[in-house]
Amino acid sequence: MAGHAFSQVDVFTTGPGLGNPLAVVAAAADLTDAQMQRFANWTNLSETTFLLPPLDERADYRVRIFTPGSELPFAGHPTLGSAQVWLENGGVPKNPGIVVQECGTGLVPVRYDDGGRLAFAAPPRRRSGPLPEENVARICAALGLERSAVLRHQWADNGPQWQALQLADAQAVLEVEPDYAALAPFGVGLVGASPAGSGADFEVRALMGFEPVPAEDPATGSLNAALGQWLIGDGHAPQRYTVRQGTRLGRDARIEVAADGPDVWIGGQVRTVIRGTVEL
């Protein structure tokens, strides 16, 4: 067995244990697909990533992203967490202030600063526009919602095949009790406006019905990237806003969403909480 540098980071965090954890294995070019998938299954985190040399000369590194059951072409909090670990392990980007990540969806630029805050440019959605009405009806039934509770809906597919519903407000989002058996295999994002003075503009929940063991995700970069493109692009949100996520799970994640020209950037705080070596 070979030893690899290993880190576990907390992404979109506001304090110890309040964000979304990610396991990162560095210098993983010698690992097979089966080894990567097996280790991701063992960590039992929502995602585990593996850092490799880039194939595209424009990229600084390449990442492969695994859930406990499958590989993803892109995911948000693994993008920020992987960039943080690459930098901490001595990575020097080709362009100061910007790390270029290569992943299944292509190249993703990541901005960073010395304070541990990173932001990635949202990749293009693979599918957008309103959801089929039969999908909306099925999601409402699985979430115990009346159809009239849905203000708007939209495909939010940028790798993970999210389907998004906007509800009346944050309280309506927090009150949803999902029936995951009925929801599977859909991944559903819920968003609702937060009250003034709450420290965030929107409350978001990410219900991962597409996972082998369905669950709620505490802080989701991919979903918030697609939500930002939708809500800002259609004029339903300001050019810059803050999301709170993970409330029902006892987390307190904060995700910053900002339009900058044609791009929407998704940012937050990343902190490394575990460093060591793993034998694989």
Q: How far apart are CA 172 and CA 169, in angstroms?
A: 5
Residue 112 and residue 120 in contact, taking contact as beta carbons nearer than 8 Å: no
Give Cα separations from 13 to 112, 216, 269 (angstroms): 15, 17, 6
Question: Which residues, other chains included, contact 266 with Cβ-Cβ below 8 Å and sequence gap of 6+?
Answer: 76, 119, 120, 122, 221, 224, 225, 228, 255, 256, 257
3-state helix, strand, coil in the chain (%, to 5): 25, 40, 40
Residue 102 and residue 54 in contact, taking contact as beta carbons nearer than 8 Å: yes
Q: Which two tokens stand for residue 180?
A: 């995951």
Active-site residues, by number, are 47
Residue 39 and residue 55 in contact, taking contact as beta carbons nearer than 8 Å: no
* Upper half-sphere CA count for residue 10 (Cβ side, 13 Å): 16
- DSSP line for 80-142: HHHHHHHHHTT---SBTTEEEEEETTEEEEEEE-TTSEEEEEPPPPSB-SPPPHHHHHHHHHH
* Maximum Cα interatomic distance, the chain, rounded to a whole number of Å: 56
Helix (H) and strand (E) counts in the chain: 6, 16
